[in-house]
Structure 1
């Protein structure tokens, strides 16, 4: 039997979720995929994804390495990258560091034509998912989405920012969590939202088969994952666009 990588749960209460989004500018859909689809997608992301590295340290970046490039990187250069990220976060600069696989870039460059990541991107841009997001956000103009696979492992994070690329058509940011372990709050990796004074006003724990989404721009961050956390914070992330 063929199992879809992206079969939506037919029991989603779209009206209730739309009310939450209208009130807060953010919402979650738990059990967004059917159990079989969620398990199949987790297998692809956790077992079949060649993880590279994305980072930025102040004005240096954003930069990215493929899995092959990362494997060939000399230890001294790895240390230099880590030092730059550390130095940026000691001051007032912006920085991030996480494992990634650029699904859209891979699709366009035909890294693995018709592979599971390509199929996933086509599902994300197909009518069932786009109609769901139009329904729960009220933004009928949503017409396409990009995607990347992300893994925030020990020592990684995404500093406070707001995704202010509205000129590129970004309207909604999304995070499909595929963290299949019972994630302890002490392990960091939360998707945090902030008010104008820098206080945390909401935090979403990594949960399996849960779609979080929010309006752009919104101040948010992924909190630092400490060294003792397991490398299990898998997700598909990206932006839904109106052009």
Structure 2
């Protein structure tokens, strides 16, 4: 694995405290402009490979309507983000003893009118997802464009997180959340820090 350290722009102490107290944290200005540019370029150049996330084993779900592309070793730019999340996993393991040992991730595209209804990524500990992360990689975003992450924290308080460019939101995978209907194309990388090894 490529040696990767957490970006200096991250306020790690605040992030750990927010995760501990609320079950979620938000970090802005995650990566350098140069890296974001390359990552957006990689995502957009592969949009024709995205598939409907709502179709699972040939069955159509009305819970979500976005499109996704799982990230593998062929998506070289995105691998840096994955490696960063692996470094984050080690930090979280040291502080919270979570037992995270793998990261799974995909690009996500919400076109106009697309959404993801209320759900939990790991309901009743049915899978190995421990921490969910969403990194926003569109180059600009306006509040009127929708696409917000609506999240209930561990104290049952609701929060609305704007999908600002170069922002990452991370939260416990058992928390209830949804993606509000987008009114403009919304690009992101969704990743899960897992306590087991996932096979896509």
Whether these two folds match at TM > 0.5 is yes
1:14 to partner: Cα distance? 0.7
Provide the rounded CA distance (Å) in 1 between the counterparts of 2:6 and 2:76.
18
Q: Flag structure 2 segments of 5+ consecutive residues without an equivalent.
A: none
- CA drift of 1:45 comes to 1.0
Q: Based on CA coordinates, which of the two structures has the bigger radius of gyration?
A: 1
Bigger relative contact order, structure 1 or 2 (CA pairs below 8 A, ≥6 apart): 2
Partner in structure 2 of residue 54 of structure 1? 52
TM-score, normalised via structure 2 length:
0.81
Aligned-residue offset at 1:118: 4.8
What is the CA RMSD across the aligned residues, in angstroms? 2.9
Q: Mark the runs of 5 or more structure 1 residues left unpaired by the alignment.
A: 65-80, 86-94, 108-113
- Is 1:240 the counterpart of 2:193 in the alignment? yes
SS at match of 1:168: coil
Pair 1:208 & 2:165 matched:
yes
1:1-243 equivalent positions in 2, closer than 5 A: 8-56=6-54, 61-62=55-56, 85=62, 95-103=63-71, 107=72, 115=74, 117-118=75-76, 120-121=78-79, 123-126=80-83, 128-135=84-91, 138-140=95-97, 141-164=99-122, 166-181=125-140, 183-194=141-152, 201-226=158-183, 229=184, 231=185, 233-243=186-196
More helix per residue: 1 or 2?
1
Change (3 A) 1:31 1:98: same
Give the 3 Å change call, closer, same or farther, for CA 63–158 of structure 1 in structure 2.
farther
1:123-155, Cα deviation, whole Å (9 max, x unpaired):
3553x4323244357344221101110011111
CA distance change for structure 1 residues 14 and 219 in 2, over 3 Å: closer, same or farther? same
Q: Say which is worse superposed, 131-140 or 233-242, in terms of deviation.
A: 131-140
Instruction: Indicate if the aligned counterparts of 1:7 and 1:33 stay in contact, CA closer than 8 A.
Output: no
Distance 2:20 2:193 in 1: 17
TM-score (normalizing by structure 1): 0.68
